[in-house]
Amino acid sequence: MEYFQPEIDRFKGLTIDSEKIIPLDEKEFEERLLESLAQWKASGYRGVWVKVWSKYASLVPICIKVGFDFHHTQPGYVMLCQWLLDKEPNSLPEYANHYIGVAGFVVNDKNQLLVIQEKFKSSEHWKLPGGHADKGENIYETAIRETYEETGVKCEFDSLLAFRHQHNYRYACSDLYFICVLHPLSEEIRSCPREISKCQWMDLDEYINNPHVSDANKFFAESYKKQQANKMCIRPSRIWNYSKTVKNNIYTIQPLDKSM
């Protein structure tokens, strides 16, 4: 136990950090870990986590050998875990399993939509500018950033139009794809040559009828027209968390004509 200096959590779990272990060679590490696992099991601990930083990667095969499985990684480390209770099913929480993508639905005052074709495309396809959210980024921030990076058009956020939930997206994870209505602050296109092959403003109804537009994108364009007609949209409100340390965005239906 004293070799590993584990942290104990409120779910009766233990976490070992490879950075904080008393230095051991690999053979000693294996022996001590096996001894400790038996002790922890006897003491009623429910699960053990081991965080292995890159420079201690030689510990990974040992952890696997003594019964750990991979849980998640972040740049620089891999986390392994092992469930200790024989009589209860493994209730260690899964890692994050959703990708977040965001598109900018940018309409100018001539009712034209900003559309792109990607350089690494598999077929001709007029898409919306967008991409994956960076860590910690708000949905509307991703929409504004990606639209600018791909098309050179600076925008401000108006509202959330829709979102799509797609399963089996990548590595058996799911994807949530949010469509943000953005107002362009200028119309000049300077598209990214690395990512984008074509970029233009296209009349909204022409877009809906274009054969190289997906059903989903047509649905978004039709939803946009309905939202404009019904004068309702989805927008975030800033609401305190439980401990009142930070405000989070909560998205609900709001009147369209009230500005943000």
What's the per-residue H, E or C state across 78-127?
A: EEEEEECCCCCCCCCCCCCCEEEEEEEEEECCCCEEEEEEECCCCCCCCE
Q: Which of residues 182-211 bind a second copy (CB under 8 A)?
A: 194
Q: Which of residues 68-87 bind a second copy (CB under 8 A)?
A: 69-79
Check residue 57 for interaction with a second copy (CB under 8 A).
Answer: yes
Distance CA 16, CA 53 (A): 11
Query: Could you tell me the sign of the dihedral formed by the alpha carbons of 209, 210, 211, 215, in that order?
Result: negative
- Report how far Cα 241 is from the mean position of its chain's Cα atoms: 20
Binding segment for a second copy among 32-40, 105-113, 166-174, 181-189 (CB under 8 A)?
166-174
Check residue 11 for interaction with a second copy (CB under 8 A).
Answer: yes
CB 106 within 8 A of CB 155: yes
Q: Which of residues 216-255 bind a second copy (CB under 8 A)?
A: 216, 219-220, 223, 226-227, 230, 232-234, 236-237, 239-242, 244, 248-253
- Gap between the terminal Cα atoms of the chain: 55
Check residue 260 for interaction with a second copy (CB under 8 A).
Answer: no
Q: Which of residues 93-152 bind a second copy (CB under 8 A)?
A: 93-100, 120, 122, 125, 132-133, 135-136, 138-139
Q: How far is the CB of 163 from a second copy (least distance, A)?
A: 5
Q: Which of 188, 215, 229, 257 binds a second copy (CB under 8 A)?
A: 215
Check residue 212 for interaction with a second copy (CB under 8 A).
Answer: no
